[in-house]
Structure formats: structure tokens, C-alpha cells
Amino acid sequence: MRRPTPSLAAVPLSALLLAGCAQPAESGGGEEAGIGGGPVQNQLSIVTGGTAGVYYPIGGALSTIIGDNLEGQTGSVEATGASVENLRLLGSGSGHLAIVQGDAADQAATGTADFEGAPIQTYALAVLYPNVFHAVTLDSIAEDKGFECFSDVVGTRYSVGDVGSGNEATTRQVFESLEIASTEIELDQLGYAETASALQNNQLDAGSWVVGEGHAGITELGTTDDVALIPLCDDERAAVVNGYGGYTEHVIEAGTYPGVDEDVPTIAVWNALVVPGEFNEDQAYDITAAMFEHVNTIVDVYAPAEEYLVPETIVNSPVPVHPGALRFYEEQGVEIPEDLRP
């Protein structure tokens, strides 16, 4: 599916995006059981990301909500390489709920990028918050390398993110949109903590953090080192937003991180909670309803999500809404676009 993604500015600041459920197209599991026609899963595996990221504690909050409010159901949180791996775990049946980036979910549904020849169709429970593209370096490195626009990373040592992560998928899509070949950089694939350490030890020049704004890892790095964020200049943002992946323009405001004293223009992508196509319809409804009834449990572990935690932002889902979740949103009076109906 391909369609414009609404600007972040057009979404109520209190909106919550929850996203859906994935099923390998080649297995046809959703069609065989009927979408939403599978059995109730009493022990739910929630696949998230690395323990240093935001997905993992949000997964823990979801586990708490499920265990405390849905009789006979429990959730176990699994640390993973994040979006791409999570979608594959759903497709193989090894995961039941996954937090993923919208661009990775779109790639999985259309069988492109990392999912070439092996599409995985997903359906949304909800959309959570936007992930913001941070090109992180240190002031001393930025001055030495002359980083003024993102394309200046050509010829440097750059980490695109952990193998199989949404961080990697987004970074590679940015490179493609800007026509930067992987051979034009000294590419590394490191997680967030490893990227920070490599910057401090002069083993890296810059790296991507595609994360919620105010990420603790970048803040922590900024308390010990002079952090710099490389902006995406006007023509670069236009190329990325008008290209593939459903990205929107975004500004990281001055003061978001220690030492970042000027606004930094960049791009963002929405995160979604997804499940496989056969995920039981009534269970999907119950989980979606419980999440919104106990949104503070999520806000307690990731406060910046609060401004997005309302049902209306489901309209930004990168994949169709699961029938059970659809029933919940319609009860809330949310008008679901035709292309998001299963």
C-alpha cells in the first residue's frame, strides 16, 4: 500500500497510534483462519527491541496492562533487534504482539526492502508515537568533519543501527532517497549503547538513532560529552519525505538534549503495535480497550508518548486496522479511512 502519511502537525498532540497485526502473505494463515478468527492466546509474547531502547519498557507496560486487566492472560516481554526482526517473528508465529516502525510494517506488507520476496501482511491495534531520525555525533567530530547537512557523512565512519532493526531500515531508506550508496561510507551496524561508546572512543564519526524524542541514551551521552545532531537540510528532507516510507518532516527543538542549543530539522516515522492476521478478534478488542483505559501505565515508562495517546491517531496506521481494534475505534466515534479497513 502507498499513501501519503499525515504530517505530525496535523495530528492532535494527545493522539496515540496503535498498530496492527502481521501475517506472512505466503503462508496465507490469515485467510485460512479468517482475519481475527484464530484462538485466544493466553500467554502472549510481546516482541520489542533492545533493553536500552523505548520499545522494551513500553512492552513491559503492555504486559502489565494485559496481566492486570485481562483474566487468564499474561504477556512476556522479549528483547529483540526491533522492527524487522519483530515482523519476522510475528510471521513465523514466534511472537504475538510487536512494536514496529511504520516504514518497516509498510515494507513487510509490500514485500520490499528487507522483505523482498517474503511479504508479511500486518493489521494494526494502535499507533503509539513518532520515531524521530537523529544523526548523532560529537561537537569535536562535527567540527573536524564539517558536518552541516546529512549528506556530509559520505566518506565517514557511520553506524546505521543494529542488524534487523527499524533503525537500520530507516537509515538505509534515507541513504537511498539521498542516493548515497553504502559503499560511499564506512558502514557499521551497532546498537544505541555501542554507538555511543564508539563515538566516545573515536571508533565512529556518527550514527543513527531512530527513536522517540528525548531518548535517554542520547541524553546520557550529552551529559558526559558535547553532543551534536546533524540536520537534514531542506533539499534532503524533501527527497526523503517525497520518497518511499511515509516519512514526515520534523524539528527537534533546541534544549531537547544537553548541548543542543538550536532547532534541528529532520524527519520522523510513526510507531505501531501490530499482531498477526489470525489474532483473535475479541482478544484484539479487549487488549486495545485495556490499553486506552490504562494509558498512564505507558506514560509512566515513556512520558513523551502522552501527547499522542488518543484513539484518533489510528488514522496514521501504516497497515489496515485489525477487526477487533476497528470495533473499539468505531465505538469511540473514530472515522477509519476505507484503506485502513481490513
150 and 258 housed in the same domain = yes
76 pLDDT more than 80: yes
293: amino acid identity, one letter: E
Instruction: Decide the pairing of beta strands 248-252 and 264-275.
Output: antiparallel
93 pLDDT more than 70: yes
109 and 229 housed in the same domain = no
At 326, the pLDDT band (50, 70, 90 cuts) reads: very high
* Domain termination site, one of 225, 247, 269: 269
8 pLDDT more than 80: no
265 and 276 housed in the same domain = no
Q: So what's the pLDDT on residue 31? A: 41
95 and 18 housed in the same domain = yes
Question: What DSSP letter does each residue of 137-160 carry, written as one string?
Answer: EEHHHHHHHT-SSGGGGTTSEEE-
pTM of the predicted model over 0.85: no
26 and 155 housed in the same domain = no
| pLDDT mean over 229-248 | 92
- The answer as to whether 221 is a domain residue is yes
Instruction: Say which DSSP state 138 is in.
Output: E
**Residue whose C-alpha cell reads 496492527 in the numeric block:** 20
314 pLDDT more than 50: yes
* Residue of 23 and 302 predicted with greater confidence: 302
- Cα–Cα distance, 35 to 183 (Å, whole number): 43
CATH code of the domain covering residue 161: 3.40.190.10
- Cα–Cα distance, 338 to 11 (Å, whole number): 19
- The answer as to whether 2 is a domain residue is no
In tens, the pLDDT along 242-298 reads: 987 778 899 999 999 999 999 999 999 999 999 999 999 999 999 999 999 999 999
Instruction: Say which DSSP state 319 is in.
Output: S
216 and 304 housed in the same domain = no
| pLDDT mean over 181-193 | 95
In tens, the pLDDT along 113-128 reads: 889 999 999 999 999 9
70 and 196 housed in the same domain = no
74 and 180 housed in the same domain = no
| pLDDT mean over 234-239 | 98
Domain that holds residue 156: 131-269
Element at 44 (helix H, strand E): strand 43-47
- The answer as to whether 194 is a domain residue is yes
| pLDDT mean over 217-238 | 96
146 and 123 housed in the same domain = no
- Cα–Cα distance, 340 to 342 (Å, whole number): 6
Strands (E), 79-184: 97-101, 120-121, 123-138, 157-159
* Residue of 165 and 149 predicted with greater confidence: 149
- The answer as to whether 187 is a domain residue is yes
* Domain termination site, one of 269, 297, 329: 269
Q: So what's the pLDDT on residue 12? A: 37
296 and 187 housed in the same domain = no
Least confident of 22-26, 97-101, 189-193: 22-26
Element at 267 (helix H, strand E): strand 264-275
At 13, the pLDDT band (50, 70, 90 cuts) reads: very low
* Domain termination site, one of 269, 284, 303: 269
At 21, the pLDDT band (50, 70, 90 cuts) reads: very low
Q: So what's the pLDDT on residue 11? A: 40
Contact residues for 272 (Cβ-Cβ < 8 A; gap 6+): 17, 18, 19, 20, 99, 100, 101, 102, 105, 124, 126, 127, 128, 317, 318, 319
Mean pLDDT (the chain, rounded): 89
Q: So what's the pLDDT on residue 33? A: 61
Percentage with pLDDT > 90 across the chain: 76
Q: So what's the pLDDT on residue 236? A: 98
| pLDDT mean over 335-339 | 94
Q: So what's the pLDDT on residue 158? A: 98
- The answer as to whether 289 is a domain residue is yes
Q: So what's the pLDDT on residue 334? A: 97
Number of compact structural domains in the chain: 2
Least confident of 26-35, 181-190, 241-250: 26-35
20 pLDDT more than 60: no
Percentage with pLDDT > 70 across the chain: 90
270 and 130 Cβ atoms separated by less than 8 Å: yes
223 and 261 housed in the same domain = yes
- The answer as to whether 1 is a domain residue is no
